Structure 1
Amino acid sequence: MLFLSPDASRPADGWPAAPARTPEPAPAVSPVTAELTRATDTPLYPLVFIGPMASGKSKIGRRVARTLRVPFIDTDKDIVAAHGPITEIFARHGEEHFRELERAAVAAALQRERAVVSLGGGAVLDPATRDDLRRATVVSLSTTADAVRNRTKNAKRPLLAAGPDAWQRIYDERRPLYEALASIHFDTSTRPVDAIAADIVKWVRKQS
């Protein structure tokens, strides 16, 4: 997995900057190593975004799709369109039912031969989805609890209701899955959305 560390750029597009912190150094990865992380027989599309809640998967994925001139699919929005608000699904039917709906939406989205797809943070919990992602190009996004706190002050997300500590716990539990599935990784804590999207597009074009 290729890891691209954040720079000191001020975020744009309404993303407040995380409080000042000393970033941990990213492991050095050579371009040759990066090329070897993606199997040559893996199709370039679908290009799938995974990562924790509020890491920017939809916002960045939409920009990447627009630049590449391919359709963009947000599986959470597909679920809402078909079944109503996610908060209500959780409240009325529980998380297990939501995961069943999510699996169906993800399976349908990943059938698209040429598209950018954004998955919900917990989609990787499903073993069948993980199997599907091994046959796709996967962009993993990460962020920090401080950045999420600033981005989601008014957001209605069931699994964020308990606050940033709960977000961190959930992220820590899922992080190994994100890392194992990723073809490439980007940190979105502080960099501008457009800059991250541009870097992803540049990387995708090098793979084609």
Structure 2
Amino acid sequence: MSPDASRPAGGWPAARPEPARTDPAAQGVRAAGSVERSVEPVRDSDAPLYPLVFIGPMASGKSKIGRRVARTLRVPFIDTDTDIVAGHGPITEIFASAGEGHFRSLERAAVQAALLRHRVVVSLGGGAVLDPATRADLRRATVISLSTTAEAVRNRTKNAKRPLLAAGPDAWQRIYDERRPLYEALASIHFDTSTRPVDAIAADIVKWVREQS
């Protein structure tokens, strides 16, 4: 299990807000993948256990692991990218026909609807945290941040159709580096998914969640 998994005696694990104060974080999107400097608010210490929300870079395993965690905990699972596709068509086509800005507006609506559910596990797209309103909502949830490496992503996405991965692993690394301060600032706990089996990571997360109940 991640070394971050120990729970402070006073209650919930720290949301690790300090990196966002010393390492510039995003307040809004200036251009595709770019962020503005800001000071992120501190996570609500009275936030309920649910919803459990998975955040992290593209291809870090949020959907696979989140689905397993939800199944074990016997609660519904929502993948906001899947909801967008169900309502509006493939994400690649949305990017091509209407642009990233339109996709982000659809994404915000899907995230907002998902987070209104109480006892649920939610997987967010990698760029969902760019929206300030989404970041504010996440302060009232339990946020599980997943990380991985470019090498692992290269092996996972050989045939994947992801518009922001079209430029290759170097583009993935650049986007991840830009968003990393947001992931760190929002996280209740962090797990690396680079090498360990998905089932083992999901089991560790379930164990941690149950310890918080």
TM-score bracket for this pair, using the shorter chain length: 0.7 to 0.9
| Counterpart check, 1:45 vs 2:50 | yes
Q: Report the CA distance between 1:31 and its aligned residue.
A: 4.3
2:191 corresponding residue in structure 1? 186
CA deviation vs aligned residue, 1:13-42 (integer Å, no higher than 9, x gap): xxxxxxxxxxxxxxx775437844166511
Equivalence map 1:123-202=2 (5 Å): 123-202=128-207
2:49 paired with 1:73: no
2:2 counterpart residue number: 4
Identity over aligned pairs, percent: 84
- Partners of 1:40 and 1:121 in 2: CA distance: 24
Higher normalized contact order (CA 8 Å, seq sep 6+, divided by chain length) = 1
| Alignment match of 1:92 (pick from 82, 89, 97) | 97
Gaps of at least 5 residues in structure 1 are 6-27
How far apart are 1:126 and its partner, in Å? 0.1
2:13·2:188 contact (CA, 8 Å) conserved in 1?
Answer: no
C-alpha contact 2:53 2:144 (8 A) present in aligned 1: yes
Secondary structure at the residue paired with 2:103? Answer: helix
2 CA distance for matches of 1:77 and 1:30? 32
Cα deviation 1:44-72 (Å, max 9, x = unaligned): 00000000000000000000000000000
Q: Which residue of 1 aligns with 2:121?
A: 116
Matches within 5 A, 1:4-23: 4=2
Kindly tell me: are residues 189 and 36 of structure 1, through their superposed partners in 2, closer, same or farther at Cα, counting changes over 3 Å? closer
| 3-state SS of paired residue (2:160) | coil
Any idea what SS the aligned residue of 1:168 has?
helix
Q: What is the CA-CA distance between 1:192 and the residue it aligns to?
A: 0.4
Aligned to 1:9: none
User: Cα distance, 1:4 vs. partner?
Assistant: 1.2
Distance 2:13 2:99 in 1: 41
How far, CA to CA, are the matches of 2:91 and 2:108 in structure 1? 14
**Other-structure match for 1:32:** 8
Q: How many residue pairs align between the two structures?
A: 184
Question: In the alignment, what sits opposite 2:59?
Answer: 54
Q: CA deviation at 1:177?
A: 0.2
Amino acid at match of 1:37: A
Q: TM-score, normalised by structure 2?
A: 0.83
Instruction: Give the Cα separation in 1 of the matches to 2:212 and 2:6.
Output: 15
Between the aligned partners of 2:187 and 2:158, the Cα distance in structure 1 is: 29
Provide the C-alpha distance between the structure 2 equivalents of 1:136 and 1:126, rounded to a whole number of angstroms.
Answer: 16
Change (3 A) 1:111 1:31: closer
Instruction: Please report the TM-score for the alignment, with normalisation by the length of structure 1.
Output: 0.85
